[in-house]
């Protein structure tokens, strides 16, 4: 257990630099008695004779005192650096943020929020974790992420603080060459004979396919994938349609095929984009500032 203080080390360092207590006391704006008492206590607790004392010529570090003072200087420097770092963190100039999200939200909301936030907080490290809903909730529970910005697929309101940012109706994703691609909106009946390309279930809540079935449409599902990019690629190749929350960023699949998103004529349900945090963790200034940027993107 450490038995000396940074204050004692600072008094030691200044006394060694000045060669005496009187000048050190003036420089530090404290009494000579305070410095003398601090050095005496430091020598007593360490068991080291740190200074040779010369009544007419002041004080000089002993050989052991030189070694100890050098280590003390290093410690004081690190403490000063830590103090500055703490101030920067408190002022939102430094620190780190970890946000959990889904791929589509990362593209549409998180990325522009990061770019804007970085202009104001260049010293802050931001980590974005993309994963399925259960994995993200587990990361939130364990403290591995500060907050989630996700589609709500079943949060327990007793355990989490939930803020709804937007409710998205599903869009029909089709190949650009499909006859329905030019329609202003798509009727459910128009999709009855078209296969559905599904994304694997990612959470406990209803999937897009569940919404279709609840609305009375029970399409053939020849392909299912965990990859949204692969699902879009299948659609681009004319293998069927799928439902998405956001239109494709560039209008092309990863295979280079043109794809388009059209609204459904019927309201079959909506997915909520929410901010989720545990109700036991205090939201930091940095996290709050970043989430404000996300809110602005909505």
Indicate the number of domains in the chain.
3
Whether residue 54 sits in one domain with residue 24? yes
Structure tokens, 265 = 């004529």
- For the beta carbon of residue 25, count every other beta carbon within 10 angstroms: 20
DSSP tag of 222: -
Count Cα neighbours of 285 within 13 Å in the Cβ-side half-sphere: 11
How confident is the prediction along the chain (298 residues), in pLDDT tens digits per residue? 668 899 999 999 999 999 999 899 999 999 999 999 999 999 999 899 999 888 777 889 999 999 999 999 999 889 887 877 777 666 666 688 999 999 889 989 999 999 999 998 888 899 999 988 999 999 999 999 999 999 998 898 889 999 999 999 999 999 999 999 999 999 999 999 999 999 987 777 788 999 999 999 999 999 999 888 999 999 999 999 999 999 887 889 999 999 999 999 999 999 999 999 998 877 788 899 999 999 999 8
* Residues belonging to the chain: 298
pLDDT of residue 253: 93
Q: What are phi and psi of 216, to 5 degrees?
A: 100, 5
Structure tokens, 135 = 């994995």
Whether residue 282 sits in one domain with residue 264? no
pLDDT of residue 93: 66
Write out the residue range of the structural domain in which residue 101 sits: 95-167+272-297
Whether residue 136 sits in one domain with residue 284? yes
279 vs 161: CA distance, rounded Å:
6
1 found inside a domain: no
Whether residue 53 sits in one domain with residue 68? yes
Whether residue 119 sits in one domain with residue 78? no
Whether residue 99 sits in one domain with residue 86? no
Angle between helices 21-28 and 6-18 (to 10 degrees): 120
Q: Which residues of 91-130 are buried (b: 16+ CB within 10 A; e: fewer)?
A: ebbbbebbbbbbebbbebbbeebbebbeeebeebebebeb
Q: Which residues in 144-297 belong to E strands, given as ranges?
A: 147-151, 160-168, 171-175, 197-199, 223-225, 242-244, 259-263, 271-278
Return the CATH number at 61: 1.10.10.10
Whether residue 206 sits in one domain with residue 228? yes
Whether residue 146 sits in one domain with residue 280? yes
């Amino acid at each position: 257990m450490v038995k000396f203080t940074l204050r004692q080390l600072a008094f030691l360092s200044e006394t060694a630099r000045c060669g005496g207590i009187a000048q050190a006391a003036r420089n530090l704006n404290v009494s000579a008695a305070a410095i003398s008492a601090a050095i005496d206590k430091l020598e007593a607790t360490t068991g080291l004779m740190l200074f040779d004392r010369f009544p007419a010529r002041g004080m000089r570090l002993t050989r052991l005192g030189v070694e100890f003072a050098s280590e003390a200087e290093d410690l004081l420097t690190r403490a000063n650096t830590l103090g500055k770092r703490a101030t920067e963190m408190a002022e939102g100039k430094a620190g780190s943020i970890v946000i959990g999200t889904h791929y589509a939200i990362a593209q549409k909301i998180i990325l522009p929020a990061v770019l804007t936030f970085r202009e104001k907080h260049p010293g802050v490290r931001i980590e974005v974790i993309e994963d399925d809903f259960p994995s993200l909730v587990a990361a939130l529970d364990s403290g591995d992420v500060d907050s989630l910005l996700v589609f709500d697929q079943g949060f327990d309101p007793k355990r989490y603080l939930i803020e709804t940012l937007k409710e998205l109706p599903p869009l029909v994703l089709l190949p650009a060459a499909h006859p329905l691609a030019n329609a202003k909106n798509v009727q459910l009946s128009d999709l009855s004979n078209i296969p559905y390309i599904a994304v694997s279930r990612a959470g406990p809540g209803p999937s897009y396919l569940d919404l279709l079935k609840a609305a009375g449409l029970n399409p053939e599902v020849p392909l299912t994938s965990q990859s949204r990019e692969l699902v879009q690629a299948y659609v681009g190749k004319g293998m069927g349609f799928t439902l998405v929350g956001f239109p494709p960023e560039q209008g092309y699949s990863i295979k280079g095929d043109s794809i388009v998103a059209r609204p459904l004529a019927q309201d079959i349900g909506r997915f909520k984009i929410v901010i989720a945090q545990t109700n036991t963790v205090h939201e930091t200034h940095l996290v709050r500032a970043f989430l404000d940027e996300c809110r602005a993107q909505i």
